[in-house]
Amino acid sequence: MNTKKTLLSIALFIGAVLFSFAQKSVDESIQDWERAKNYTKEYLDAMPESGYSLKPTPEIRSFAEVMLHLTDANYGFTAGALSIESPVAFGKSDKTEDISKENVTKLVLAGYDFVIANLKKVTVDQLNEKTTLFGSFEMPKRTAFDKLFEHQTHHRGQTTLYLRLAGVVPPNEKLF
């Protein structure tokens, strides 16, 4: 009987540690998204108003269009991964005609807020559930958010060149 109690206590302890570690990883993910939002805002703030329409070559997106593309993905991936409705139709941010610094900043930050607010609502178990993103890619919801984080990091990094072309020193890296 004593052995059974000991084994049960050990199992409960291990379960509590694993739950704590998993929940911490959700909390850390939210912290990473908040850091990414702040870092992206530094990029948006650093670019002068005149640079929002800057295109390094005619056939690629402008600075504003890259940031709005990043925003579309933030809404689309989050809504798709969690099977919820996005307040912004997929592709709508990308198509806005008002590419002023003020409007683009507002739209981009709202996209980050959508990701963060929805991550705060999910549990570890929900993040481990499977989802089919964009009707084609089956993966755990956690992986969908990892792919989304990679996407926003890629496109923010892409805009470093735009800042340099506008004569602006990009913000320092924010890994921590």
Query: Does 155 show up as a binding residue in the annotation?
Result: yes
Query: Does 151 show up as a binding residue in the annotation?
Result: yes
Q: Are 131 and 83 in contact (CB under 8 A)?
A: yes
- The Cα–Cα gap between 159 and 39 comes to 12
What b/e readout covers 84-97, taking b as 16+ CB neighbours within 10 angstroms?
A: eebebeeeebbebe
> Which residues contribute to the annotated binding site?
69, 151, 155
Q: Which residues are annotated as a binding site for a divalent metal cation?
A: 69, 151, 155
